Amino acid sequence: MSFFGTLLWPIKWVIEAILVAFHTLLTSVGLDPAAGITWVLSIVGLVLVVRAALIPIFVRQIKSQRRMLEVAPQLKKIQDKYKGKKDQFSREAMSRETMELYRKTGTNPLSSCLPLLLQMPIFFGLFSVLNDAQHSKVGVGLLNEQLSSQFANAEILGAPLRLAISTADGNATVIIIAAVMVVLMTASQFITQLQIMSKNQSAEMKASPMYRQQRILLYLLPLVFAFSGFTFPLGVMTYWLVSNFWTMGQQFLVIRNMPTPGSEAALAREARLAKRNQRKGIVEEDKTGGTVVVEEPKNVQRQQPLSKNRAKKQNKK
């Protein structure tokens, strides 16, 4: 076994355990154990387990991004201090002061990439599991000979999950499905990044160099997906596509409910809360930083409409 294979062994064991668990569950409710949809849904189950396990990392990522927003003005001061200075001493001093700022504030500019980096071993592990199944190899864990054969021969709309465009050998169905997946992966990733940049960035963050770097990545990522669509088998691309959809939905909920202070999303959330409070009979007025809350009187009985006879009797009294 190679060094890379040794590193992937425990990851492959976990992947196989999760796949087999979902496969067993799906077959117990009546799905064909050899059908492609059964294995596709098993891969979806793998995504759900992995992404649920990464939620604490995602929360940590959000907190780190908030801290990066707080230090953005200080970071800009350091950059302005050494602006135009290209000598070695100035560059080292700028790098040293920047790292010291990150250390003091507990921030990490790479934290936004952490969830993706943690999933990369899953991609390669699933790729290795599919490759072993393609060559009729028994898995390292619960993927026995029968399950491995079923996984290797599983098809979705006539396209084997083990094939990629590079290994399709002219299979038009594989090429078409892979191309559609690439388009969906690119669109979902683009929408996710675009909603972060357009709605969840404050004015200070948009003026920082990090924002410009994010804009560059926004247009570079489609090239990454194009390469993955040519190289990765459909089974791995299924994992990546479903994971992108999870990220898009997760990011939408975060931006809607926990937006960055000072961003467009934060203003929209304040407007929604104000409308909701008005519907509840609460009027909020924000003056000079203070909030005055006026509520409707409680326990006030509504006066029932009176009939003509009853009104005459009350008037006589």
pLDDT at residue 282, as a whole number: 52
Strand partners, 290: 287
pLDDT at residue 139, as a whole number: 79
Residue that the structure tokens 């992947």 belong to: 15
Q: Which of 161-165, 213-217, 281-285 has the highest mean pLDDT?
A: 161-165
Higher pLDDT, 22 or 137: 22
C-alpha separations of 187 from 28, 51, 64, 225 in Å: 35, 20, 26, 10
What's the mean pLDDT in 142-168? 88
Amino acid found at 97: E
Helix, strand, coil: what percent of the chain each, to 5?
A: 70, 5, 25
Position 201 confidence tier, pLDDT thresholds 50, 70, 90:
low
| Residue 305 pLDDT > 70 | no
pLDDT at residue 114, as a whole number: 65
| Residue 22 pLDDT > 90 | yes
287 phi and psi, to 5 degrees?
Answer: -130, 125
Q: What is the mean pLDDT of the chain?
A: 77
pLDDT at residue 86, as a whole number: 78
Position 32 confidence tier, pLDDT thresholds 50, 70, 90:
very high
| Residue 148 pLDDT > 70 | yes
For residues 2 and 43, what is the distance between their CA atoms, to the nearest angstrom? 26
Cβ atoms 179, 230 nearer than 8 A: no
76-80, 211-215, 224-228: which range is least confident on average? Answer: 211-215
DSSP, res 113: G
With a threshold of 0.75, does the pTM exceed it? Answer: no
CA nearest to 45, candidates 251, 247, 239: 239
Position 195 confidence tier, pLDDT thresholds 50, 70, 90:
confident
Q: What is the percent of the chain where pLDDT is above 90?
A: 14
What's the mean pLDDT in 68-84? 77
| Residue 149 pLDDT > 80 | yes
Position 291 confidence tier, pLDDT thresholds 50, 70, 90:
very low
Position 222 confidence tier, pLDDT thresholds 50, 70, 90:
low
pLDDT at residue 119, as a whole number: 73
pLDDT at residue 287, as a whole number: 46
Helix H, strand E, coil C: the string for 244-294 is HHHHHHHHHHHHHHCCCCCCHHHHHHHHHHHHHHHHCCEEEEEECCEEEEE
| Residue 45 pLDDT > 90 | yes
| Residue 46 pLDDT > 80 | yes
E-assigned strand segments in the chain: 155-156, 159-160, 282-287, 290-295
82-86, 97-101, 168-172, 286-290: which range is least confident on average? Answer: 286-290
